[in-house]
Amino acid sequence: MAQACELETLNKAFSGHGIHEQALISILGKWEPEERNILPEGKSPLLQRGMNAILSGGMITMSSFSSANSLRFKNAVVLWTMHPWERDARLVKEALEKGPQLYGIIVEVACTRSAEELLGARRAYHSLFDHSIEEDVAHHIKSNERKLLVALVSAYRYEGTKVKEDAAKSEAKELHNAIKNADKRKPIEDDEVVRILTTRSKPHLQAIYKHYKEISGKNIDEDLDADLLLKDTVQCLCTPPKYFSKVLDTTLEKDVDKMTKKALTRVIVTRADTDMKEIKEEYNKQYGVSLSEKIEDTSNGNYKDFLLTLIARGG
């Protein structure tokens, strides 16, 4: 019954002249993950089915938003209402089409989702685009980054808590040696580096991260400034709040390009129901200002209100 009432409110939000954005924000900002998930019998909950009908029926159009608010608000709404698997599949597709500047998105999806979430994104990609993610990554990427990225999107990691400390210490040494000898061979081209980062569980990799600092005196990502894709991979696997805080701060700088600015929507939408609380804490720690305050200062209108509503979900 609650969903039926909210669906009626959504329909009213799109009736008449223009769009009632605050009604839209109020309803969508309260959606729980299960209200955007596909049920086992293949049917969406009533609220999602209604929103999908509104979307597919063309009621959210470019002209609707050009008069009422920015295109960024529309894009945030559309991204938020997608099933997470479809959303990730489309994000990867866009990254492959637009090139190296967006390869970090592939790393995000491959490294910060659970094994089942990544598998779901792979299935959605296959259904949407008639290719596998692995196939398209291998086809589009010709650089030395291909081996790493294909292995990352193919991963199905163990998600238990068991860690073999001896193996973690040994592999920390292997990583340190590979990075230390980067002048002879780039770490991203080292088969053992790729194996460790693409097959080991996240608890195991976090143990490696700890032992690496004991060996080097610095964190792995601090030693990888010369290889940004590897650095992003390590941070997404071992310290995701640190990674996402960095991405968010870049998007909130003045005069950034449109492609960079889009990451603000992507990160907040994809992390709102997972680790937003930790990201907010890390952002405040790193930059000395709350994420909410920064968004208040740099964003406008209903787009700003929608972002603030989503980040408030994390507590």
- Determine whether the annotation assigns residue 301 to a binding site: no
First to last CA, the chain: 27
CA distance 224 to 158: 25
254 among the known binding-site residues? yes
Is 14 annotated among the ligand-binding residues?
yes
* Residue 160 marked in a binding site: no
The Cα 102–Cα 206 span in angstroms is 25
* Distance set, CA 164 to CA 123, 171, 175, 238 (Å): 32, 11, 16, 17
Q: Give the CA radius of gyration of the chain.
A: 21
Q: For residue 279, give every residue at least 6 positions away whose Cβ sits within 8 Å of its Cβ, in sequence order, or none.
A: 240, 241, 244, 245, 248, 267, 271, 291, 314
- H-helix segments, 252-287: 258-271, 276-287
Residue in 36, 26, 34 with CA at minimum distance from that of residue 5: 26
**How far is it, in rounded angstroms, from Cα 246 to Cα 130?**
34
Looking at residue 81, its amino acid is T
C-beta of residue 188 within 8 angstroms of C-beta of residue 229: yes
Task: Give the C-alpha separation, 171 to 173, whole Å.
Answer: 5
Annotated binding residues, written as ranges, equal 14, 16, 18, 254
Annotated binding residues for Ca(2+), written as ranges, equal 14, 16, 18, 254
